[in-house]
Structure 1
């Protein structure tokens, strides 16, 4: 480096012929050059560092100058100097890394550990501190404050739901734990509950197809829950939360050493057994739940720091909703209506680095999901087992950073519906082998091009090819531009994904054999980092996306109000939109997070020579999220105000006579919280749903025909000609409530 700097001085000496001065220097952090950092004074931009961290500013008149250096991921630094005539001054800057999420390591975009700043694929990162601004008993609920992501309740009675990303339903999102597709289709509605929040290191969100790396289900995006490493986890942690509705959630975590292994253990327990009927329809407003989850992760110390980790989770849940006087003796009968779901789930996942010179990793997972559900008189019994293995080679060759992999997934699915022949013990078995290649090419010190492709062979549907392209342009230390394009695919198992098909409220009709869906996507992402006059950082991120679907599977609720008709769309479907995120810090620790997403999600059905465009049901045209944090450090207090707001969406009514609203109003969920911190303890409390918003507002009822849930007396007291229907839902049916909680973190 000294030689490089000497050459640099020799070159500028030839340029110092005028009476003006020259300032040169090195911008680094802990001895590592900081590329493309911007160098400014109070009036204008003067220059930037190159790929080696060096900068040069010429033609300066005599006088006093204050130089301020900015770089994404670092705190700004200002130095003041006095220049004479024809001076050549060396001015070095040693920057301190900031706590910005742009510095965080992510793996979801490329299957490699890279900083979020350097990833060619845009990855959003959310830390436990983000989720603590609005404490919830599950990750499913916690995601309500992520811009472009919405937890959707799909049933008014049992309150199961899924995650929408950019307007696409839950089955289009892959959910993973530590990079493994551990949450499969059958358990998407349950799998985001019961993961101990105390063990979560971060949550990574990728919006847009990722099938070239992850295969089926990663069509609309993915959510990767990264658990803590035993080395960084506290020795003991506890988080107990209770609400005025008598909900109780407990998270416990601890670690210990077992020989050469570090072991991390987490327990989540949630209990809610307090039937409430505020809307007076004689049905529970919120499902009753009894849930327990046990998670354990073993990390083994090996020679040459090679990786080997094993993790397992057991999940059990008993939930029910229905008429207020329901109990277990009525389960499956036609006297008192109830929906009861018993879930048992077992998961195992791990990573093993082979003892060879090259970085060769074998990742594996296995999960077994057992479900025993009753929806009125309809019984749904299901068993799903998925085994997954993946071998990857990470190799760098000159400008090429290669990732080569082979994967195999085996799925065994059995239920008592027509999907598997109409009864148990006729399982559907699917093999899905695949190979993939990814090449991250450094075209230039500011330009990266990522090329990827995956080839899968589905034993039921044949060959599937999914290419991918990503381009990153690091304009300078404060501007990054990314372009991503690719394809995705999804093999559909209808009954494992659509709860509405199981409620017993409508008959289900499948027109033809459902073909795999395919998607084609492009998105443009731009990150801009600014600084206020007080050197407070402002992070801005903008994204535009367009996704085109073929073979889209649609549920028709309107042709026949007594049926749900499923078929591949004869035309196409589109999801397109714009999103913006703001992350801004003020003096004294005040912090603002805000986001807005505009989206247009629709189908075009080409039938009999006509093209009919329809906006997708239960999809908002726009949404916004925010979080304001104000600390009062002298009092050891912190105030959080969080919320979201959603535009109008089309709702599944039962025909023209149905008096319920055909579209939702603009609605919002808002929360406040105060946190008192003293040493290892945090006492927090506040109010959820400040506006007391529920979908009952301005509606005559939410669940149709609660007085006749088995449709025995349709000709009696039925002026609208309706049948029992619990599928009309767009927002949580839980009003304002207070909460109080206590956290404990002991490091040693």
Structure 2
């Protein structure tokens, strides 16, 4: 099965490459015969740093869609440009961006070369999430943290979930012992308070939010941009704690990469169910036509992990995974100032946790087994007007089909879920020379969700007249009706405007968004109890940037946010404890949740001749008003959640720190940490078991990373993730003492405090040239000291939500990578 999937992905990519090459060849021929008269106004040159040529640097004509890439020798050539004066920009990840002005005449060529400087702190890296426009990190009014493919590679991240924690204020956690449901927390707030975007669009719907960060392979990603703090004025509902923008790979130059990694989970760990394999294969390729008018990027991934039993009780702690992903992105430069882009990807994933993996799901004591089929398609058009004005129009659709089983020894626990998320957006960016810009836009987004348990057969019983024993009557068959768990439709339309005023001393950005949204509970409507929540939310945002010194910046931000009362991801995940299922309802007087967030930061970055240092200190505060709380009622093995607003609010406050230090060029050190408090203003017996502090929210956590190029192609990467103690509810029946037993007997959950975890990982790699490509061998270990949870609940009645700490036990791996750029 494993080899078939690899061949399947490889054959599709190869077929698409051959097909696209043929089509592009025909397109080029057609274009040649119909093209307009050529200006023969050309530019050429090279890009260097410290006298060394830089391959694959991006050369862009500002205000147009025209661009080129330097070749393997660091040279470039752009032909038939419009006659006149142009601003040309050279950029490359890890280097400063430079611009030059050139005046072109018909029939003449001009040489334009660039000397870039190493940007250890990535202050000239382009980001788009903070202001919905491409600006350098140095210019944006909000701090944006970027996670690059290089960082994902250095930690051998198979999926986004394994690499996203290396940014201040970000923590990834596992919330289910059976199926591996996970969520990402920003500044200590639960996952439902963060907006996860795909290319700037809110496409993570209710179902995608359950396993989404582990569904997306890392080779799809161009970079991940993380905006901490309220960003709702630009991105709508749920961006209270911040936004995580997953930017997919663009075809920038002709590349290919093949990566195979073999992992071994549980190496050297005593008392487990044995070491288990974890295979991972990534394939990607991109190419451009000679005139750079058309580009195509392809990627594919296959992963298979065997379920892992940490405490050898016969039940898995890490679920079985089988994930196949394939996708493509293409663009066509319609005119010199217009560009059309299209993206598609498909993810098929099967996962299963519990026991008796060779048996049908309903024959297992515990089985949590969702199977996802995900399709996403998007279309975008960009057109420049005037000098640098830009119109962007895009639309996107994501469709999720999920077949699931959550339960044990029963036919009633199968489920079927359909989730459709869609959006359409238009934005116009007006550039006022060098002193300001105005972004205005409208977006429409919506979601359809239907989650149901299909009917199942039941059999009658009768008493044997002779033996007086009860027997199943297989002739007496009844098919139960379908049970509707959630049926909901939501939509929102938003108008926004944001103005940025620039000054040599900094900039001021002010924005306002107005959202009108509806949440329709179709399940209640079917019972003639139509429940439609209609709301309006004005959302302002202000940010101020002061350039105190050339290397020191002060930023102050305020943003309002809101959260609509729809079904969220954690409510669609079902914990198996007595085969409970969940149905969610809204109370009659429910209000949408609102927030007020403020941030203040100092950012210092200085590059010297042979070393560099950067330090960020950031304070944050968020006040939650009318926070949601679920009143839980158990009836006939069903869990009914009725959502209310709590009367008192909640405070989330703390500080992030990030330190980057490059003592010598081959060595880069990075340190990040967070200290924060998350607490409700008043205690509530129905909330957090009467606890004032948020559960699953440690006060302190952080990371350390070292990247050392030891000698030529030999490199060492070392990382450390630290998670401090936190409070967690125990929903099981295995009491530690008489006090816990009393709570359990009275229907309450004991609150336990977790230990501190130190998750250290190491990777050693060696790369060398192979013809025009590069070959790399690597090996490493994740969670080297096996800092892992020791007190998992056991058996078929275990509390699957009682899980915390690092997501993997000690795992060793080896791999090989072949490509023309790493």
TM-score w.r.t. the length of structure 2 is 0.71
Deviates more, 1:509-518 or 1:147-156: 509-518
2:342 aligned residue (307, 310, 324): 310
The Cα of 1:653 is off from its aligned counterpart by 1.1
Indicate if the aligned counterparts of 1:488 and 1:518 stay in contact, CA closer than 8 A.
yes
Matching of residue 440 in structure 1 with residue 517 in structure 2: no
The Cα of 1:180 is off from its aligned counterpart by 1.9
Q: Match of 1:402, SS?
A: strand
Partner of 2:679: 602
Matching of residue 677 in structure 1 with residue 767 in structure 2: yes
The Cα of 1:662 is off from its aligned counterpart by 0.8
Q: Match of 2:336, SS?
A: helix
Deviations 1:650-703 (A, max 9, x none): 11113897229811001121101111111201211111111112211xx3xx12
Matching of residue 619 in structure 1 with residue 701 in structure 2: no
The Cα of 1:160 is off from its aligned counterpart by 1.4
Partner of 1:249: 280
The Cα of 1:551 is off from its aligned counterpart by 1.9
Aligned residues: 629
Structure 2: how far apart are the matches of 1:416 and 1:217?
Answer: 25
Structure 2: how far apart are the matches of 1:133 and 1:384?
Answer: 35
Aligned runs of 1:409-428 on 2, under 5 Å? 409-416=445-452, 423=483, 427-428=487-488
Partner of 2:175: 154
Structure 1: how far apart are the matches of 2:513 and 2:146?
Answer: 26
Q: Return 5+ residue gaps in structure 1 as ranges.
A: 1-29, 31-71, 76-93, 710-723
Q: Return 5+ residue gaps in structure 2 as ranges.
A: 1-58, 60-93, 98-114, 265-275, 455-480, 519-532, 737-749
The Cα of 1:731 is off from its aligned counterpart by 2.1
**What is the aligned-residue RMSD (CA, Å)?**
3.2
Q: Match of 2:297, SS?
A: strand
Aligned runs of 1:170-569 on 2, under 5 Å? 170-232=191-253, 234-244=254-264, 245-256=276-287, 261-273=294-306, 275-323=307-355, 325-329=356-360, 331-332=361-362, 336-354=365-383, 357=386, 358-376=389-407, 377=410, 378-397=413-432, 399-416=435-452, 423=483, 427-442=487-502, 444-459=503-518, 460-494=533-567, 496-498=569-571, 501-505=574-578, 506=580, 512-513=586-587, 515-530=591-606, 535-554=610-629, 567-569=644-646
Q: Match of 1:497, SS?
A: helix
Distance 1:504 1:416, change over 3 A: farther
Deviates more, 1:424-433 or 1:523-532: 424-433
Structure 2: how far apart are the matches of 1:332 and 1:618?
Answer: 32
The Cα of 1:173 is off from its aligned counterpart by 1.5
Indicate if the aligned counterparts of 1:675 and 1:684 stay in contact, CA closer than 8 A.
yes
Matching of residue 666 in structure 1 with residue 770 in structure 2: no
Structure 1: how far apart are the matches of 2:351 and 2:147?
Answer: 29
Structure 1: how far apart are the matches of 2:169 and 2:485?
Answer: 41
Distance 1:657 1:375, change over 3 A: closer
Q: Match of 1:191, SS?
A: helix
Deviations 1:181-214 (A, max 9, x none): 2222321232223434234222111011111101
Partner of 1:114: 135
Distance 1:328 1:383, change over 3 A: farther
1:587 aligned residue (664, 669, 674): 664
The Cα of 1:255 is off from its aligned counterpart by 2.1
Deviations 1:133-171 (A, max 9, x none): 211210012113333211111100111111111111112
Distance 1:452 1:445, change over 3 A: same
Indicate if the aligned counterparts of 1:175 and 1:181 stay in contact, CA closer than 8 A.
yes
The Cα of 1:747 is off from its aligned counterpart by 5.6
1:687 aligned residue (781, 805, 813): 781
1:100 aligned residue (121, 137, 150): 121
Deviations 1:695-738 (A, max 9, x none): 11xx3xx125x1x43xxxxxxxxxxxxxx421101124642121
Indicate if the aligned counterparts of 1:195 and 1:268 stay in contact, CA closer than 8 A.
no
The Cα of 1:555 is off from its aligned counterpart by 5.4
Indicate if the aligned counterparts of 1:194 and 1:269 stay in contact, CA closer than 8 A.
no
Deviates more, 1:460-469 or 1:181-190: 181-190
The Cα of 1:223 is off from its aligned counterpart by 1.1
Q: Match of 1:231, SS?
A: coil
The Cα of 1:231 is off from its aligned counterpart by 2.0
Indicate if the aligned counterparts of 2:210 and 2:569 stay in contact, CA closer than 8 A.
no
Distance 1:455 1:703, change over 3 A: same
Structure 1: how far apart are the matches of 2:367 and 2:148?
Answer: 38
Aligned runs of 1:46-125 on 2, under 5 Å? 96=117, 98-125=119-146
Matching of residue 574 in structure 1 with residue 651 in structure 2: yes
Structure 1: how far apart are the matches of 2:245 and 2:679?
Answer: 27
Distance 1:508 1:428, change over 3 A: closer
Distance 1:491 1:348, change over 3 A: same
Distance 1:509 1:426, change over 3 A: closer
Distance 1:601 1:661, change over 3 A: closer
Deviations 1:238-276 (A, max 9, x none): 111111231011111012457953110000111113x33
Structure 1: how far apart are the matches of 2:416 and 2:545?
Answer: 48
The Cα of 1:413 is off from its aligned counterpart by 1.5
Indicate if the aligned counterparts of 2:258 and 2:819 stay in contact, CA closer than 8 A.
yes
